[in-house]
């Protein structure tokens, strides 16, 4: 495999790579050793970032689990301390938040399923080892890890395919990049807009704002929060416009007909 990879790199890109020379330079020290040292530092940094991301995701998932499990008790505890009017407003907000959060999870699940199926077909065609496992990895990680999920998801299948066949690794990378662009510009905006009832521009802006304010957690919570805020504002505006619209649509009050006795 090493000789095949060396020949493929030299023939395809017009290089003069000799892995034996690189190995000797690495053993003796020098430029190659410095290069691999910097690469090792980058790997450590990426690993730390992935670990931090997984920790944040676990924290959010644990908080969500307890909120759902104890949601009714928490709701009653808060409702008992509010006036009926404020309790009604909070009920509307609570229901909207639950519906929009459920829509977010549903939309992510749909995109993960589509991604897994598409990549499974591509990996089978390209003869990548373990196509089912790698396709599930790409689908889940790319959808449920914000910001860097697509890069983390692509790293594993590209690495596995490179070790199997360098040319296959290049094709896998092309497939993942092309699908990611199609998902970003075609699939994701439409699925998110229908399942969460949120404008595409608002969805994009909320992710940017959430990432800038709270990092990974902000990016993860940005869409449900934005969808809840949009739904609440829309509901509030509809309630305010309905009375005025009803008043405008009402028939004008006409003066009573003149009494016949007035002519006498």
What's the length of the chain?
A: 264
Asked if residue 251 has pLDDT above 50, the reply is no
| Choice among 117-121, 144-148, 186-190 with the minimum mean pLDDT | 144-148
Q: Cβ–Cβ contacts within 10 Å for residue 152, how many?
A: 19
Q: What does the block give as tokens for 158?
A: 């590209």
Gap between the Cα atoms of 84 and 138, Å rounded:
48
Residue 178's pLDDT band, with cuts at 50, 70 and 90, is: very high
Q: Please give the pLDDT value at position 118.
A: 95
Closest CA to 49 of 176, 147, 173: 147
Largest CA distance in the chain: 127
Contact 193, 199 (CB under 8 A): yes
Could you tell me which residues come within 8 angstroms of residue 96 by beta carbon, excluding any fewer than 6 positions away? 228, 231, 232, 235
Instruction: Report in angstroms the alpha-carbon separations of 87 from 83, 201, 228, 231.
Output: 6, 32, 17, 18
Q: Is the pLDDT of residue 246 over 60?
A: no
Distance CA 59, CA 189 (A): 27
* Alpha carbon distance 137, 88 (integer Å): 43
pTM: 0.55
Cβ neighbours of residue 201 under 8 Å, at least 6 residues apart?
none
At CA 163, angle to CA 160 and CA 169, rounded to 5? 65
User: Tokens 């959808």 appear where?
Assistant: 143
- For 176-242, strand residue ranges (E) read none
Bigger pLDDT: 50 or 144? Answer: 144
């Amino acid at each position: 495999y090493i000789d095949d990879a060396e020949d493929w790199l030299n023939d395809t890109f017009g290089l003069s790579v000799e892995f034996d020379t690189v190995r000797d330079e690495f053993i003796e020290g020098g430029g190659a050793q410095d290069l691999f040292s910097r690469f090792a530092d980058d790997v450590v940094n990426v690993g730390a970032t992935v670990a931090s991301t997984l920790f944040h995701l676990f924290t959010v998932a644990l908080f969500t689990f307890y909120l759902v499990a104890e949601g009714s008790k928490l709701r009653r505890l808060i409702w008992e301390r509010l006036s009926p009017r404020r309790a009604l407003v909070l009920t509307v907000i609570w229901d909207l938040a639950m519906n929009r959060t459920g829509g977010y999870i549903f939309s992510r699940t749909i995109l993960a399923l589509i991604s897994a199926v598409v990549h499974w077909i591509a990996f089978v065609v390209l003869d990548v080892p373990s196509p089912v496992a790698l396709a599930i990895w790409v689908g889940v990680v790319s959808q449920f890890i914000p910001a860097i999920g697509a890069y983390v998801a692509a790293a594993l299948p590209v690495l596995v395919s490179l070790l199997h066949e360098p040319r296959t690794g290049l094709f896998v990378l092309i497939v993942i990049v092309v699908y990611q662009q199609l998902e970003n510009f075609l699939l994701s905006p439409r699925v998110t807009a229908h399942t969460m009832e949120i404008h595409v521009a608002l969805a994009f802006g909320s992710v940017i704002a959430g990432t800038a304010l709270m990092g990974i957690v902000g990016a993860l919570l940005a869409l449900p929060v934005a969808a809840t805020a949009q739904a609440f504002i829309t509901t509030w505006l509809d309630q305010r416009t309905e009375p005025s619209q009803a008043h405008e649509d009402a028939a004008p009050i006409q003066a009573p007909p003149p009494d016949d006795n007035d002519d006498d």
